[in-house]
A and B are shown apart, each in its own frame.
Chain A
Amino acid sequence: MRRVVVTGLGCVAPVGHSVPDFWNAVVAGKSAIGKYPQHVPELIAHVVLAPVLNFNADALFDSKKLILLDRFSQFALIAAREAVKDAGLELTEAERPRTAVVLGSGIGGNTTHDEQYQRLAKANNPRVHPLTIPRLMLNAATSQVTMEFGTTGPAYSISSACASANHAIGQAFWFVRSGLCDVALTGGSEACLTIGTIKAWEALRVMSNDTCRPFAKDRRGMVLGEGGAVIVIESLERAQARGARIYCEIAGFGMSSDAGDIVYPEEKGAASAMESALRDGGIAPDQVDYINAHGTGTAANDSTETGAIKRVFGDHARQLAISSTKSVHGHALGAAGAIEIIAAIKALETGTVPPTANYTEPDPQCDLDYVPNEARQKKVRAALSNSFAFGGLNAVIALRQLA
């Protein structure tokens, strides 16, 4: 099997519309979380969120194209443009059918859904926009990326709620590793801050009303975010042959399902996905120096994830640096794994571990090293990026320095 490396990064997140801006904010623990009453309808003005602000789609896309782009497709395209440019990626005609696009999204064209249904139900308007379907379909972002970059290989979207992007990245990784493809653009995008979706999360009573404090004793729940991130991955041979800058290796991918509760996470399932990722990558637990945790800030996730990490790493669990960057950029659902793997890749590249922001005091049930509030200089030989979805679907990516 071939080795697979990361050669390009791109993202749009609440704390920055590019990887450098995002990374600076994540390292500084500069949280984008707050109330944005001037940006949202009155019914949700009190909700604590992490929106992408000042994203000027009119300036970024031709108007003929923009009419086809839900906000989640816009995020995917801008992230893909940055990643392709960052990688210096140029595809020959022969390479196009051997280039994959696999993106995750939990919901798809949520903004389009909300807008068009409001026309019908609220404004009592008998018609919706004729391009509603091509905008809202969950594969729209993936299709738009294939069209913009002329890739003709395997392409589809993956939806597994909060694990969507990690499942997508893992699938793309296996395409390249197996030899089916040489290059892939992969990641995820989500634009879920619509009135309907926010109200639905509120009804589930898991949203925080101050901020996101993963692993802290007084954590109050999750904070919804949005955004998109795309990485360029390719075979090691191809990257070396073209003299590409290589960030790190994608070493392994692990998946599992809890087969338990539709919303409540289980330690065993999370542990199994981490173990599978390590085994798939041939990484010994004590080689891992950093985990970008799922760390949603809910009572249930953070204690369960802590237990799972202990189960997998034993004594080494206390040597690990663990952080949840959701404390800075919120929970972008189907894009979360993509945004967060950028942070994990940058940690490997720079030897800087981003902090868990907004951390107050330790919880006896969360008693590991969560890098509270201050970034840390630490050599990261290997890292895991965790995503554990509602529905008990778990996906973990293992990254490693290219030796």
Chain B
Amino acid sequence: MSEVAQKVVDIIAREMKVEPGTIKLESSLEDLKIESLDVVQIVFAIEETFDITIPSNDKEYELKTVADIVRGVERLMAQKSGGAKPAAGPAA
């Protein structure tokens, strides 16, 4: 598991009060019983940790599985370090 993936898993585990070992990359948020208000809190914690903004209402960032979140974070981190303009917000 990459460093980003590990951090994402740790955040989800902390928010959901479960052991990180129970969370797999291929787990769907539904399987993990992560409901809509949990999702927004997890997204917020991830955004704060990585200093990124994850777009909402964007097909590129449909967050159905843990792997989706990790991929999204990695893409946004790459944009940031590559000097590309980070997303200004969910609707940008």
Whether A204 lies near B90 (C-beta < 8 A) is: no
Measured in the bound complex, the distance between the Cα atoms of B37 and A209 in whole Å is 20
Residue of A45, A48, A205 touching B40 (CB-CB under 8 A): A205
Please pick, from B37, B44, B89, the residue contacting A46 in the complex, using a CB distance under 8 A.
B89
Task: Give the interface SS of chain A, mostly helix, strand, loop or mixed.
Answer: loop
Number of residues on chain B facing chain A (CB within 8 A): 15
Asked if B43 is at the interface of the complex by the 8 Å CB criterion, the answer is yes
- Specify the chain B residue showing the minimal Cβ separation from A204: B40
Is the CB of A307 closer than 8 A to any CB of chain B? no
- Assuming the contacts A209-B57, A263-B36, asked whether A48 and B44 have C-beta atoms less than 8 A apart, the reply is no
Beta-carbon contact of B36 and A209 below 8 Å: no
| Residues in chain B near residue A44, CB distance under 8 A | 89
Flag if A208 contacts B57 (CB, 8 Å).
yes
- Are B37 and A205 neighbours in the complex by a CB distance under 8 Å? no
B27 at the interface (CB under 8 A from A): no
A60 within 8 A of B: no
Q: Tell whether A117 is near chain B: CB-to-CB under 8 Å.
A: no
B41 to chain A, nearest CB (A): 10
Set of chain A residues within 8 Å of B91, measured between Cβ atoms: 46-48, 207, 209
Interface pair B56/A46, CB less than 8 Å apart: no
Chain A 196-210 near chain B by CB (<8 Å), digits 1 or 0: 000000111101110
Q: Give the size of the chain A interface in residues (CB under 8 angstroms).
A: 19
Complex Cα spacing A208 to B37, Å: 17
Interface string of A38-61 (1 = CB under 8 A from B): 000001111110000000000000
Cα-based distance from A205 to B39 in the complex (angstroms): 9
Report B66-92 CB contacts with A as 1/0, cut-off 8 Å. Answer: 000000000000000000000011111
Q: Which residues of the partner chain A approach B39 to less than 8 Å between Cβ atoms?
A: 205
**Contact yes or no, B37 A262, CB < 8 A:** yes
Residues of B within 8 A of A208 (CB): 57
- Complex: chain A residue closest to B89, CB-CB: A46
Residues 16-65 of B contacting A (Cβ, < 8 Å)? 35-37, 39-40, 43-44, 56-58
* Contact B43 A46, beta carbon cutoff 8 Å: no
- CA A207 to CA B40, docked complex, whole Å: 13
Q: Does B57 lie within 8 Å of A220, measured CB to CB? A: yes
Distance (whole angstroms) from the CB of A211 to the closest CB of chain B:
11
Which of B57, B58, B91 has the most C-beta atoms of chain A within 10 angstroms of its own C-beta? Answer: B91
A360 to B30, CA, bound (A): 29
The reply on A392 being an interface residue by CB < 8 A is: no
- Taking CB atoms, residues of chain A closer than 8 Å to B56 are 202, 205, 207, 209
Which residue of chain A has its CB nearest to the CB of B91? A209
Find chain B residues with CB under 8 A from A45 CB. Answer: 88
Chain B minimum-CB-distance residue to A300: B36
Q: Which residues of B contact A47 (CB under 8 A)?
A: 89, 91
Q: Which residues of B contact A204 (CB under 8 A)?
A: 40
Residues of B within 8 A of A203 (CB): 40, 44
CA distance A203 to B48 in the complex (A): 12
Bound-complex Cα distance A44 to B91 (A): 10
* Contact (A221, B57) CB under 8 Å given A46-B91, A46-B92, A205-B90: yes
- Cβ of B88: which chain A residues have Cβ within 8 Å of it? 45-46
A sample of 26 inter-chain contacts (CB < 8 A) reads A44-B89, A45-B88, A46-B88, A46-B89, A46-B92, A47-B89, A47-B91, A48-B91, A202-B56, A202-B89, A202-B90, A203-B44, A204-B40, A205-B40, A205-B90, A207-B56, A207-B57, A207-B90, A207-B91, A209-B57, A209-B58, A209-B91, A221-B57, A262-B37, A263-B37, A264-B35
- Given A47-B91, A208-B57, A261-B37, 20 new contacts (CB under 8 A): A44-B89, A46-B88, A46-B91, A46-B92, A203-B40, A203-B44, A204-B40, A205-B39, A205-B57, A205-B90, A207-B57, A207-B91, A209-B56, A220-B57, A221-B57, A262-B37, A263-B36, A263-B37, A264-B35, A264-B36
Where the two chains meet, the residues of B that have a C-beta atom closer than 8 Å to any C-beta of A are 35-37, 39-40, 43-44, 56-58, 88-92
Which 10 residue pairs across A and B have the least CB separation, nearest first? A209-B91, A205-B56, A209-B57, A46-B91, A46-B92, A220-B57, A46-B89, A205-B40, A46-B88, A204-B40
